[in-house]
Amino acid sequence: MIMQKAKRFVLGAVLAGLILVPTARADEAAETVNYRPVTFSVDASTLGLGVSAGWRFQDHLGLHAGVNYFGLSKDGNEIEGVSYNTDLRLFSAPVALDIYPWASNPFRISVGVLWNGNQLEGVVPQDPVAGRTFIEIGGASYDSAAIGNLNMKVEQEAVTPFVSIGTSFYFDKAKHWSLSGELGVAYTGSPEVALNNTGGPINPADLAAEQQQIEDKMDDYKFYPILKISLNFSF
């Protein structure tokens, strides 16, 4: 009787071991996973609000892409001595190669390009309340009632290279949820500026001089900072 009980105990222990060992190994693997290959993110950055997706297809390399948007309107924005009502639109779509120097570390270096649809539009409208006003264009004074609305449009280069560094901080051992940060810079180049009006003629030389002043001002901002924070889910 005692031998039979002992045999049953040993058999039960063996069966329990066969069940628990694979489970323990699975839990250990889940705890020691270096990364999840596919990541979806919601982003807030100097490029705007956006969404992105990443694929780490091997230990040291990955790809990510996204889209960002932000809009802002402001009245009385003075640009080179002229007060415009402006509409700023930030729209970009970055694509980058991610380089991971260490397989077990989320730190990455990203090199890529972004499709740049950023633009600034402005208008100097006629003021029916103030009546007749004068604005200076290219050093000459013009009657706003005669020239109508003065319209401005500034666009950056359509394809912009960028480089950045980033890392992630995980909330769980399985590395599904994380918060990441990114710091970098994009080269936006020289902007294109267009000026036109809706009323009487403006001396082309004055219009060209005003346009050049705005371009020279914008040339001071050829490099655009990238600062991003993201909430991520990986699987």
Q: What is the pLDDT of residue 32?
A: 65
Q: Report whether pLDDT(15) > 50.
A: no
Q: Could you give the CA distance from residue 165 to residue 178 in angstroms, rounded to a whole number? A: 16
**Tens digit of each residue's pLDDT (9 = 90 or more) over 65-77:** 999 999 999 998 8
Q: What is the mean pLDDT of residues 96-108?
A: 96
Q: Report whether pLDDT(36) > 80.
A: yes
* pTM for the full predicted model: 0.77
Q: Worst-scoring range by mean pLDDT, 113-117, 140-144, 224-228?
A: 140-144
Q: What is the pLDDT of residue 11?
A: 44
Q: What is the mean pLDDT of residues 37-47?
A: 97
Q: Report whether pLDDT(123) > 80.
A: yes
Percent of the chain with pLDDT strictly greater than 70: 84
**Tens digit of each residue's pLDDT (9 = 90 or more) over 171-230:** 998 999 999 999 999 999 888 999 998 888 889 999 999 999 998 888 888 899 999 999
The counts of H helices and E strands in the chain are 3, 13
**What contacts 199, CB < 8 A, 6 or more positions away?**
145, 146, 147, 148, 149
The single residue listed with the structure tokens 């802002």 is 72
The CATH class, in words, for 36-234 is: mainly beta
Question: Mean of the per-residue pLDDT values for the chain?
Answer: 85
Rg (CA), the chain: 30
Q: What are the domain boundaries of the chain? A: 1-32, 36-234
Q: Report whether pLDDT(16) > 90.
A: no
Q: What is the pLDDT of residue 129?
A: 54
Q: What is the mean pLDDT of residues 27-51?
A: 84
DSSP E strands, 46-103 = 48-58, 61-79, 82-99
**What contacts 217, CB < 8 A, 6 or more positions away?**
79, 80
Q: What is the pLDDT of residue 138?
A: 87
